[in-house]
Structure 1
Amino acid sequence: MRLVLVDDEKGIVAGLRKLIHRHLPECEVVDSAYNGVDGFRLIERHRPDMVITDIRMPQADGLEMIGKAMEAGIPSQFILLSGYADFEYARAAMQMGVRFYLNKPVEEEELQECVNRVMDTIREDRAKRQEVDELKRTVRSRDQAETLRIILAKGGEREGLAEELLRPDGLSPEDCRFACVLIEADGEGEVLRETVLQPIFRHIDAAFGAFRRVYRLRYSNDRIAALVAHDGSIDEKDLLLAVRRLLEQVKTELNRSLSAGIGRVRSGAEGIGESFEEAREALSLKASGEQGDIRPFSGLHPYPKKRDPIAEIKEYVAAHCREPLSLADLSARFFLSPIYLSQLFKQKTGETYMSYLARVRIDKAKQLLEKTDWKVYEICRQVGYSDTQYFTRLFEKQTGWKPSEYRRRHTEG
C-alpha cells in the first residue's frame, strides 16, 4: 500500500515514517508534505492508496485538501490526525466521508490497528470494484457475442451491426481488416462444455493478442467462431501462426485436439460474412478422423459457397436422426433463432420442421424393417423415439400399416 504523509510538524512526519517502516511492512511512504497545498499536489501526482494528514495546517487545512482530492475523483483513503480541540473539524470530516482517525500523540499500536483497518477497507473496495468490472465485462462480452451471432447468421450484410460490435473498442468497419476462424473439437460427437470452453476462450484471446481485437463465441456444440479485427493490415502468415499456436497450447495445457478453418483477410462489414463462409468451407474439407488440422481458405477455391442452412440441417438430420433433434437443439447448432429457423424451414420446404423430422425417421424405420430382423422396439430407438406405442401410431399414420404389417407385406412381396 502506498502512503502520503501530510503534517506541518516535520518531527511528526519523521516519526510516522519510522513507525510505518518498522511495523507495517506492507506499506510504503512514497512522499510527504508540510501543508495542504503541497499535500494536494502530491496526492494528485501519486494517487496513493492512503493519506495520513493533520487537520490544522498553513495555506490549506486538511479538510480543504481532502475536499479538493475528492472533487478530483482521487480514490485515496484518509486518516486524520486530530486532537481534542479538533472536534468540529472531525465532525465536518465525517460528513465528507472520512472514517478513520488517529489521536495525537500517535501510539504504535493505535497506528497499526488504524492502518490495518484502512487496508482491509481498501481490499474490500477493490474486490467489489473487480467484481463489478468483471460483471460489466461479462455482460459486454455476451452482448458482443449476440451481435456477432446475428452478423454471421446474416452473412455480414448489416453494416450497422458491425459498427455496434466494433464501436466499444474504438473501431469502425471502414478502417478495419477482418479474418474469421472456425474452430472445431476433434472426435465424433465431441462437445465443448462450459468448463473447457472458457479456458479455450482465454487461449484464443492470448493467441490473437497481437491483433487489435478478437471476438469469439460458441458457434455450435463442437465449434467456436472467432473474428479477428485489426485497424491495419493482417498478414495471413501471422494469422496462420496464431492459429497454430492456439491449437498447440490447447493440446498441451487442456489435452484437447482442435482443428480450424481460416477465411481470407477481408475489409468492410460485408467482408466479415465472406471470410466466415470461407472459414466454414475450409473446415468442411478436413478429412474424416483427422485431428489438429489447420486449413486456410487461400488457394482452395476462387469463391466460397453461399451458405444454405436448410440444406445443412437436412443433411445433419439424415445423419443424426436417432439423436434428440428438437428445434431448439438445431437452432443452437446452426446459429439461428428457433422462430427464424421454423419460419425459414417452412418457407424453403413447404412443411414444418417437426413433420419433416417425423418423415425422415419413418423412412429410416422402413429401411430397417426391410433390411434387418431387429425388433420393432429396437428400430424405434434407432430412429430417435423412446415410446414404442407412439412410434407405432406415427408409423401407421404415415404409411397406413403398423411396423409389423409393413415388414410382413414387404417380405411376402
Structure 2
Amino acid sequence: MYQALLVDDEYMILAGLQKIINWGDFQISIVGTASNGKEALDFVEKNSIDIVITDVTMPLLSGIDFVYEARKRGYHFKFIILSGYQEFEYAQKSLQLGAASYLLKPINKKELEHSLNKIIKELKEEQRFEQTNQFVIGQLLYQWLQGEDVLFELQNKLGSQRQLNGNAFTVLCVQLNQPIEPEKWEEWAEKQAFYYTIATGSEEAYLIIRSTEREEIKAVIHYLIERTVKDMTFFVGQPAFSKETVPESFASIKEMRARSSFYQQSEKINWYSDDKQTQEETDKQIGAINKSILSRDVSQIRLDLKQFSLGLEKNKVLPEFARWQTYMILINGYLIFDSLNSPSFKEATQAVFSSKTFRELKTLIEEKTLPTHALSKRLMYGELTRQAIDVIQQDYQQDLKLKKVAADLHINAMYLGQVFKKDTGKSFSHYLNEYRIDLAKELLIQTNEPISNIAYQVGYQNQGYFYKIFKQYLQHSPREYREHFRKEISTNAVYIDEEKAVDNDFL
C-alpha cells in the first residue's frame, strides 16, 4: 500500500477527502493528517510518505513552502496541490516544484481519481526502474532542472568521469514520435558529452549540453537525427552560464512549448529568444487601446484591437500573459461601455481564460472585447444624452449636478433630465452613481489602494456616503466586494491543461 498524508487547515476538507473516494481501490492508505505545513513537515520527518495532498494557504507554513522545505531536507513524494484560488503564481510555483496536479476546491471526485491514477502509475514505474543507477541519475537531473537542491548528490552519482564541469550549459528538449530505449540515450550521451533525462513515455527527453555555442548544439541535434526517427522536434532553452542558472534554461523551454501549442506553430528546431522587448511592445499596445476606450472612439478601438492581436501572434506572447492582457482590456471596455455585472462580460471572461489556441483568443479579442449590445444601445441615444454621458465620463470626480450639466449644455435641466431618463432608463444621478461605482469596482479589483482613497478618486468626498451607495447598488460593502470578486477572478485567471503538466510527470 502507498502511504498518503492529507494536509489542510479546514477540518471539513480533511474529513471530506477521506470519504470522497475508496482509497483502498488505489492501493493507498491514509496514514496521517495535518492542519498546516509545519505539522506536515514534522510528520514527513518521522514517517515514510509516498503521496501528499496539501492545501496552498495555511497558517505557520503554506503548502508550497512545506513541499519546498521537505525537498530541501531530502524527502521526496508525489503531491497534489489544492486551492480555492486559481492564481497563476500558485500554479506556477507548484508546477516548478513538481506537482502532479493543481486542483481547485471544491474537489471534483473524477479529477482527484484521475490525478491519483496518474500518481500511482508513476510510482509503479519508478519502482521498476529505481534500482538502476542511470534512472537515479536521470531523476536527479530532472530535479536539478526544476530547481531542486540536488547538485551535490547528482555529482556523486555521476562520478568522476562525468562531472558537471564548466560554466556553460544549454537545456535541449527532444520530442519524438516513438520511444527510444534508455540504453541508446546512455550511449549517445557518452559520445556527445551531454546529460539526459527521459520524461513520460520515453518519447520526450531533456538534454543538458555542456555548451552554449549554437554550432555545438546543432552538432548534437544532427547527431540525434541521424540515429533516430527523422520526425523530431527540438526546443533549445536559453543559455546558462552557471550551474545555478541551468533550471532557468529548462523553464524557458516550458514557455516555448506552451507558445508552440497555443499558436499552433513550431519549427523543427526552436531556438530561445529574449522577449523583454516583446513585453514592452505589448504594454504600449495595451496603453493605446485603453486610451481609445477612454475616448470612446469605437472605430479606433477596433483598429487597435486588431493591431494588438497581430502583435501577440507576431511576438508569440506567452499564452497566460496574452489571456491576462486580453482580460484587462475586457474589464476596461465593459467599464466604459457596459458593466462588469453584465452577463456578457462574465461569458466573455470565461471564453478568454478557456481559450486553448491563439485562433480562439484572436476571435474573442476582435469580436468580444467590446460589448456590442451596449455599444449599439448607446449609439441609439439622442445627442443630448450622449453629451451628458460624455460629461459624466470626463468629470465624474467633480461635484456633478444635473442643473450644472444642463447649464453647460445650454438646455433646461428638467428637459435634459426627462430626455436622459427616456434614453437610458435611469435618472442622471442614478447613472452617475452607477458609473462611479463601476470605476470603484475596477480599482478595488486591480489595486490595493485604501478604500477611502478609491472613494475620493471616483468622486465621493464623503467615505460614509460612498459605502452607503456602494452597498445599495451591490448588496456588498467595498471590502466584501474586493474579497469576493478577487476570488472570482482568480478562478478564471489560470487554466492548467493536462498537457502542461507533462513536464512534471517524471518516470
* Shared fold per TM-score greater than 0.5: no
Q: Considering Cα pairs closer than 8 Å and 6+ residues apart, tell me whether 1 or 2 has the greater RCO.
A: 2
Bigger Cα Rg: 1
The structure with the largest strand share of the pair is 1
TM-score by length of 2: 0.25
